[in-house]
Amino acid sequence: MTRAAINLNGPTGEVIDVTSLGRNTISSHKAGIGEYRVQGTLGMAPPPEGWGYVINPLDAGVEVRIRHVAPILEISVSRDGVASDLQHSLTLHVAVEALPLEPLPEPQPDPLAAALREIAQRRAQADRAIAPLQDAVDLEEASALEQENLRAWKRYRVALNRLPDQHGFPEALEWPPAPQ
């Protein structure tokens, strides 16, 4: 059980609005002069959570009686002992069913962020492989195998940089194979 504040229109008995921490499927109607019926509550919210009711200053001096006869909240209004409609409004603090606890939906991964993250990780791997090979080439100390490995890793890095141009990016990617 939780609480809700509802505002009823005095002349019509209809719900003006509902502020709720639980279900807010509350309806009401005017049953007769000074008689209002509210459905969808569990009665008045008990203290300390509830504060009862508040009438609009235009309706000062009326007597309000509230009775819960499940599933109806009966409200009777009178002035000087005679049934009387509210001129403006009545705010009630009622108990309502708590909303069912439903697990939050799993957040869906952002395909673009995931693709860019994977590209960056693979690019970092390529950069780590290229750096010592490029040093050997720059110092003119690279073997033929090192030179071929350097070209393969650079081709791989270029292919990674071109992934955003692929059809279906970022959802469907054909990843280039990393050199061995």
Same domain, residue pair 40 and 66: yes
Residue 176 lies in a domain: no
What would the two tokens of residue 74 be? 């009966």
User: In this predicted structure, what is the pLDDT of residue 100?
Assistant: 78
CA atoms in the 13 A half-sphere facing the CB of 98: 5
Identify the bridge partners of residue 30 per DSSP, sorted by sequence position: 36
In a domain, 119, yes or no: yes
- 103 versus 168: the higher-pLDDT residue is 168
Whether 8 is in a domain gets the answer yes
What is the extent of the structural domain holding 137? 111-165
Residue type for 21, please? L
Whether 77 and 155 share a structural domain: no
Q: Which residues of 2-155 form beta strands (DSSP E)?
A: 2-9, 15-20, 27-32, 35-39, 53-55, 63-69, 72-79, 82-83, 89-96
Q: Are residues 46 and 89 in the same domain?
A: yes
Total number of domains in the chain: 2
Band of residue 101 on the pLDDT scale cut at 50, 70, 90: confident
Q: Which of 37, 64, 96 is the last residue of a domain?
A: 96
Residues 11 and 86 in one domain: yes
Do residues 121 and 153 both lie within one domain?
A: yes
174 found inside a domain = no
Strands 15-20 and 72-79, bridge-based pairing: unpaired
pTM of the predicted model over 0.85: no
Q: What is residue 98's predicted lDDT score, i.e. its pLDDT?
A: 86
DSSP-derived 3-state class of residue 14? coil
Among 49, 72, 96, the domain boundary falls at 96
Q: Tell which phi-psi region holds residue 52, choosing left (phi > 0), alpha (psi between -120 and 50) or beta.
A: left
Domain presence at residue 178: no
Residue 24's pLDDT band, with cuts at 50, 70 and 90, is confident
Is residue 172 in some structural domain? no
- Answer with the one of 96, 131, 156 that is the final residue of a domain: 96
